Amino acid sequence: MINVLLVLLGGAIGSLCRYWWSGLIAQRYGETFPYGTLFVNMAGCFIIGLAAGLLNRAAGALWEQPVRVFLTVGVCGGLTTFSSFSLQTLNLMLGKRWGSALVNILVSTTICLGLVVTGWWIGQNF
């Protein structure tokens, strides 16, 4: 139950940061390009990488798993799922699972984009 609460709290913080940062960037640089989303994705990727690197050094510490759940699943999950995708892809690469990493990249980008297009099309036509 504690993990659920940590994800809930971290997700709320990440979602609020996404809303605030995206809006701030869009307000400053305009919305002709999704600068806000790009910034949030890059920030989330850096944060999840930093957290994973630091927490791997603390593996086995009593506080390591709750902090990992709060930061990586909660905060970064609320901020951007692109960070989770990127960390999982890195973990495949670190495990020398190059084929799986490539499949994850290709499937996640092409199929997910295709599903957005499909959902949009259905929403527009039915």
The 10s digit of each residue's pLDDT in 109-123 is 998 888 888 988 888
Residue 81 has pLDDT above 80, yes or no: no
The pLDDT of residue 120: 83
Contact 82, 66 (CB under 8 A): no
pTM of the model: 0.76
Q: What is the mean pLDDT of residues 12-36?
A: 92
Q: What share of the chain is helix, strand, coil (3-state, %, to 5)?
A: 85, 0, 15
CB 72: neighbour CB atoms within 10 A? 21
Q: Closest Cα to residue 103, out of 119, 115, 85, 80?
A: 85
The mean pLDDT value of the chain amounts to 91
Contact 23, 36 (CB under 8 A): yes
